[in-house]
Amino acid sequence: MTARAWRLMSVPVAAALAMGAGGCRASEGDDKTVTVLAAASLTESFTTLARAYEKAHPGTHVEVSFAASSTIVTQLSHDAPADVVALADTEAPKKLPKDLAEGKAWTPFATNRLEIVTPRGNPAHVTGLADLAKVDTVLCAKEVPCGRAAHKALTKAKVAPHIVSYEKDVKATLAKVVAGDAEAALVYATDASSSRSKVSGVEVPAASNVTTTLPITAWSDTADAKGFAQFVRGDEGRRVLQGNGFGLPG
């Protein structure tokens, strides 16, 4: 399907087919919309930033759809429309076809790290990565950034986890623990923080932890695409990201 065909769809249909999960939605008749594809771990931060950008730029609507970075790469490879793209690690953009990636300037805007989550109260008494070999553990799929980071951390710690399932993204991985379908999961610290009322967290020591760097690019050449990407990297973006537990690149 061509980019033009995507744009001719109504917003709800296009979003449902392309993203599978949505954040912000444009109302019919909007003639100035910034379409943002963002990693699932950015759900809370980018939902807030979308509203803040709209308030600062009356007449502009920011439509954000969230998914695993690997899913976003697939969407872009199939001509899904986008003005801004933000992914969960610097490996994800390398999976894009060369002709699409050419000329795109990816800029680091945040960092993240891993944390173990358990059901509230930590009933299995998980104290560290080594315990993931003994309890029912859920990880992100190996091809998505949180899965790559988890594999690196477990390899550094020389732990072979007892895995009951791999999930499509960090939100789905976290949901398994919230639902009581797993005794532990290895997710981003930001996602653990956003669900603190539903899960307990166990810190991963720095020696075994993995820090990921999140990149952003203005995928289209519009002023608002460049403007929103800059907004994320600016003072307001940094404040919101840090408030949600992200670190900032050096």
Locate 96 and state its tokens.
């894009």
Q: What is the pLDDT of residue 95?
A: 95
DSSP 33-97: EEEEEEEGGGHHHHHHHHHHHHHHSTT-EEEEEEE-HHHHHHHHHTT---SEEE-SSSSGGGGS-
Q: For the residues 186-198, what does the mean pLDDT come to?
A: 95
Q: Which long-range CB contacts under 8 A does 7-16 form with residues at least 24 apart?
A: 7/81, 11/63, 14/81, 15/63, 15/65
65: left (phi over 0), alpha (psi -120 to 50) or beta: beta
Q: What is the pLDDT of residue 31?
A: 60
Q: For the residues 143-150, what does the mean pLDDT come to?
A: 97
| Residue 107 CA, distance from chain mean position | 16
Whole-structure pTM value: 0.86
pLDDT at 15 over 70: no
Q: Is 58 exposed, middle or buried (0-12, 13-18, 19+ CB in 10 A)?
A: exposed
Rounded CA separation 61/43 (Å): 17
Nearest alpha carbon to residue 67 among 123, 8, 141, 122: 141
B/e letters for 103-141, b = 16+ CB within 10 Å, e = fewer, are eeebeebbbbbbbbbbbeebebebeebebbeebbbbbbb
Rounded CA separation 240/52 (Å): 10
Q: What is the pLDDT of residue 238?
A: 98
Residue with tokens 């992914």: 87
pLDDT tens digits for range 211-241: 999 999 999 999 999 999 999 999 999 999 9
Higher pLDDT, 102 or 111: 111
Rounded CA separation 149/190 (Å): 14
pLDDT tens digits for range 175-187: 999 999 999 999 9
With bands split at pLDDT 50, 70 and 90, how would you rate the model's confidence at 250?
A: confident
Q: Compute and round to an integer the Cα radius of gyration of the chain.
A: 18
Contact of 135 with 127, CB cutoff 8 Å: no
pLDDT at 20 over 80: no
Locate 184 and state its tokens.
């532990």
pLDDT at 40 over 80: yes
Nearest alpha carbon to residue 138 among 158, 112, 124, 117: 117
Q: For the residues 15-36, what does the mean pLDDT come to?
A: 53
Q: What are phi and psi of 163, to 5 degrees?
A: -95, 125
Among 29-33, 116-120, 160-164, the least confident range:
29-33
